[in-house]
Structure 1
Amino acid sequence: MVHLFPLRQRTHSGRAPLAASGLLVMALAGGSAALLSGCGPAAPPAAEPEAPAPVVQDGQLRFQSGHPQLALLGVTEARPAQSVAVDLPARLVWNEERTQRIYPAFAGRVSSMRADLGQSVKAGSPLATLASPDFGQAQAETAKARVDQSLAQQALRRQRELFDAGIVARKDLEQAEADAARAQAEVARAAARTSLYGGSAGVNQQLALTSSIDGVVVERNLNPGQEVRPDQSGPGAPALFVVTDPTTLWVQIEAREDHLAALRPGDRFALEVQAYPGESFNGQVMAASDAIDPTTRTLTVRGVLPNADRRLKAQMLATVHLKESRVSGTVIPAQAVTLRGAIHTVFVQRAPGVFQSQAVTLGHEGPREVVVTKGLVAGDKVVTQNVLLLARQFQIAAEEAAMKKGAPQ
């Protein structure tokens, strides 16, 4: 009889359980390795082949078809130069035909102020009052002239009566008539002087500074109690008041000689100021100077600009936009042109992916467009975007070609 029980006992206490445990450990280790291998980084993808560098051949830079840099090179066709956009610097100033600068006619002291900066005034409105002994003297001269005229008229009447009675000679009558005429002329002169500055019939020494136009007080250089004198006026001296009609402004345009054809009296122009970006104001050329500034080689052109809403202010800097007619040459964007020393060059696309550096002669240079008089024809495609990138590629390819050519065989 076989006793199975002792044998089963050895199974739990002998080496058989150790073997089973080893198998379990190996299985767990294998599973862990599999899990760890699944959590590790994936293998890097295969790198795409790098596009070959452009090469220089027969003076042209050639890119392989589909080269990624070709998408960065913007190209524009040169067009016939029928017209070109011209931008000129300008400045807004008061319309001097509707502006009055008020200076003192007599010495005096400011006794009262009647108007302030920004105030609207009517013609004849008092702006300030001066206590002026000099003006009082002019008033006294007017009063004295009237008294002298009255005495001369009385003497003339007596001489006529005596002449009619045959008591005096004709020459005495004629002398009295001459004296009366001189007295009347002196009254007219003195009265005209005082009335010119707002004087009254009496002597009050009060001189009113008045405006002779309707407008707005845009400048005030006067304060109560201030002493003023006539010798303080003139070039370089500020006016006591400046009154103007701001509903129109003058535009002072700095133009070169070659722009005069587009700035004739009556021509229209568009104007922009920094305060209102993207908004355009329309003006008209009124006159042009006959002399060129020897320093800047420019001349001043004057235009007029409506300003009914008074949004534009004097002394604003502006840019005037013109369309200038041209009869020859081609027009390209200014950003397509590079300067090498004293030579202007552009990059012309001769075929897809093929570019050539071309020297050009400019007939007009503007901030947005240039006119090429030599070196391009209408329809030529010039690079206008990333021009410096293309120039760098051209230089690198040329250097590599020179190194290969000079390398020993």
Structure 2
Amino acid sequence: MQIVRYSWLLALFIAACKPAAVVEVDPFPVRVEKSHLIFTSGDPQLKALAVQPVKERDTVVLHLTGKLVWNEDVTTNVFSPLAGRVASIKGARGQKVNVGDELARITSPDFGQAQADAAKSEADLALAKRVLERTRDLLKQGVLPQKELDSAENAFRDAQSERDRAVERLAVWGGRGGYVDGAFALKAPMGGVIVDRNVQPGQEVRSDAMLAGMAVVAAPMFVISDPESLWVHVDVSEQDLSNLQIGQKLEIRSRAYGDKVFPGVLTVIGQSLNPDTRTVVAKGTVSNPEKLLKAQMYVNVNIITHVPKMPQVPIKSVFLREGKACVFVRVSESDFEMRQVTTDAEDAGQVFVSKGLKADEVVVSEGALVLESLLDANTSTANAGAEKAEH
């Protein structure tokens, strides 16, 4: 019993001699008042925050990628309407041509046959005319009956119709009667510049290379266009369609020319959606007076859209809280207010705010999520302290 008593006294003595626990005090406490975070002056956490004033803008710029193609309104693909062999070529890539200029000469049996038909029809018509005149003379002399004159007149009209048909057919291909050489001259159907050539001397060409407007056998022999005007095709996502309007200005830039801007205008917005990419093809015309841009180039396209003037903040400033967009507004050097906002269009890392902000207010551009975590932590601590006090 004495041993137990002394052991108990020893335990009390040791407990009495143990130093009291040291309670650490935060030198930079953060206070929460409703949606405000109030820092202690000199808090090092403030150095991790970046802020910037809110500016108002009335334009949205869609940054897209496009592809340049020939302007089809001033472009034509030239095929041979006749089969044959290329005898000579006069049209060269980069050459400027006018309507009717010869591009190539083709030795064509079909063209030779058309020339022969035209020549024969002329001869037949001349013969029918002589027969008719002779028949009229003989009728006046009473040698021939009236039916012979009627027959001669019908033959003359038939010969005249056949001559007109043969001559017209030859004229469609640019030929004229009087000789037969089978040399078909392929001519430019419109003025412009030969931007592409896909034919060589001695090459066999076919009349069926062009079928219903599509090259089914070979590429066009020549492509004539105006390189000072190009089209640009742009794939536009569904969410950006509401920002497009016919007539909007385009700014086209190419890696080849740095920051040089080529002006353009939006002319067509597609009526169907690509089911694979979920995009719509929009088309615009591009002014290219110096002929620096080339067809098939990939370019950066900015589409400028005018909107009602609204505040704009960095997209990093906005965060979601309970499904609603929020930002932190700096009220003073140490006071930051969390505020709900209504966002609108985005533009190059910036987002428009249609409700909840005013121009020249200062928002947190870096560290908004840090402030949100501090707000959550201090709110939880305050709630826990309140519950403890109630108990």
Q: TM-score range by the shorter chain?
A: 0.7 to 0.9
Deviation at 1:378, TM superposition (A): 4.6
Q: Deviations over 1:233-272 (max 9, x none)?
A: 24254212111121222333445431344x33xx544332
Structure with bigger gyration radius: 1
The alpha-carbon deviation at position 169 of structure 1 amounts to 5.3
Post-superposition Cα deviations, 1:173-192, rounded to whole Å, max 9, x if no partner, equal: 45433433333333333233
After superposition, the Cα gap between the structure-2 partners of 1:144 and 1:306, relative to the gap in structure 1 and judged at 3 Å, is same
The answer to whether the aligner puts 1:303 opposite 2:287 as a matched pair is no
8 Å CA contact 1:84–1:369 kept in 2: the answer is: no
- Distance, in Å, in 1 between the alignment partners of 2:293 and 2:59 is 29
Quote the Cα distance in structure 2 between the aligned partners of 1:305 and 1:281.
7
Partners of 1:230 and 1:281 in 2: how far apart? 40
Tell me, in whole angstroms, the C-alpha distance in 1 between the residues paired with 2:142 and 2:360. 109
Instruction: Tell me the secondary structure at the aligned position of residue 153 of structure 2.
Output: helix
Residue 276 (structure 1) shift: 2.1
Report if the CA contact (8 A) 2:30-2:378 is conserved.
no
- RMSD of aligned Cα (Å): 3.7
Tell me if 1:129 matches 2:105.
yes
Distance 1:145 1:342 in 2: 86
1:209 alignment partner, one of 186, 195, 198: 186
Match of 2:251 among 270, 294, 318: 270
> Structure 1, residues 354-395: CA drift from partner, whole Å, max 9, x if none?
3345554433233354333344455543333x3xx4314532
Q: Do the aligned residues in 2 keep the contact of 1:90 with 1:251 (CA within 8 Å)?
A: yes
Correspondence for 1:118? 94
Distance in 1 (CA, whole Å) between partners of 2:186 and 2:209 is 15
From 264, 273, 278, the equivalent of 1:293 is 273
- After the TM superposition, which residues 95-106 of structure 1 pair with which residues of structure 2 at under 5 Å, given as runs? 95-106=71-82
Does 2:180 match 1:196?
no
Which of 328, 346, 353 does residue 365 from structure 1 map onto? 346
Q: Structure 1 pair 276/404, CA: closer, same or farther in 2 (3 Å)?
A: same
Q: Which range moves more in the overlay, 320-329 or 302-311?
A: 320-329
More divergent stretch after superposition (202-211 vs 330-339)? 330-339
Distance 1:357 1:210, change over 3 A: farther
User: What amino acid sits opposite 1:391 in the alignment?
Assistant: L
Structure 2 length normalisation: TM-score?
A: 0.73
Instruction: State whether structure 2 residue 196 is matched by structure 1 residue 219.
Output: yes
**Aligned with 1:394 (options 354, 372, 376):** 372
AA in 2 matched with 1:317? Y
Question: CA 1:90–1:307 in structure 2 vs 1: closer, same or farther (change >3 Å)?
Answer: same
- Structure 1 distance, partners of 2:43, 2:123, is 105
CA distance in 2, matches of 1:375, 1:248: 45
TM-score computed with the length of structure 1 as normaliser: 0.71
The 8 Å contact of residues 103 and 241 in structure 1, kept in 2 or not, is answered as yes
Is the CA contact 2:97–2:192 (under 8 Å) kept in the aligned structure 1? yes
- Which of 298, 316, 330 matches 1:317? 298
Q: Tell me the equivalent position of 1:162.
A: 138
- Equivalent-residue separation in structure 2 for 1:196 and 1:341 (angstroms): 75
Deviates more, 1:317-326 or 1:145-154: 317-326
The number of equivalent residue pairs is: 352
Distance 2:289 2:131 in 1: 61
Q: Quickly say closer, same or farther: Cα 1:196–1:349, change in 2 above 3 A.
A: farther
One-letter identity of the residue aligned with 2:180:
V
| 217 and 55 in structure 1: CA distance in 2 versus 1, 3 angstrom threshold | farther
Paired position in structure 2 for 1:326:
307
Closer/same/farther in 2, CA of residues 292 and 364 from structure 1, 3 Å limit = farther
Mapped pair 1:143 → 2:124: no
- Per-residue Cα deviation, 1:315-362 (whole angstroms, up to 9, x for no partner): 223344344233475433445445689765444334434334555443
| Mean CA deviation greater in 248-257 or 341-350 | 341-350
1:21-51 CA-to-partner distances (Å, cap 9, x unmatched) read: xxxxxxxxxxxxxxxxxxxxxxxxxxxxx99
The structural deviation recorded for 1:66 is 4.8
Alignment match, 2:7: none
Partner Cα separation in structure 2 for residue 347 and residue 153 of structure 1: 101
Q: Contact 1:55/1:401 (CA < 8 Å) preserved in 2?
A: no
Name the structure 2 match of 1:279.
Answer: 260
Structure 1 window deviating more from structure 2 (81-90 vs 228-237): it is: 81-90
Q: 2:70 aligns with which of 94, 104, 111?
A: 94
Residue type matched to 1:135 in 2? F
Distance 1:187 1:382, change over 3 A: farther
Q: Secondary structure of 1:243's partner?
A: strand
> Per-residue displacement from partner, 1:123-172 (whole Å, max 9, x unpaired)?
33333333322222222222222222222222332233334445555555
Contact 2:346–2:352 under 8 Å retained in 1: yes
Answering whether residue 242 of structure 2 is matched by residue 258 of structure 1, we say yes
- For the 8 Å contact 1:110–1:224, the answer to whether it is kept is yes
Return the offset for 1:397.
6.1
Structure with higher strand content:
2
Unaligned runs of 5+ in 1: 1-49
Relative distance call for 1:275 and 1:368 in structure 2 (3 A) is farther
Q: Paired residue for 1:10?
A: none
Question: In structure 2, how many angstroms separate the alpha carbons of the residues matched to 1:175 and 1:332?
Answer: 95
* CA gap 1:82/1:245 in 2 versus in 1, 3 angstroms: closer
Contact persistence 1:61–1:394 (CA under 8 A): no
CA–CA distance in structure 2, aligned partners of residues 165 and 231 of structure 1: 57
Corresponding position of 1:383: 364
Paired with 2:296 and 2:322, the residues of 1 have a C-alpha distance of 38
CA distance, structure 2, for counterparts of residue 404 and residue 95 of structure 1 = 68
* Unpaired runs of at least 5, structure 2: 1-25
What is the Cα deviation at residue 75 of structure 1? 1.4
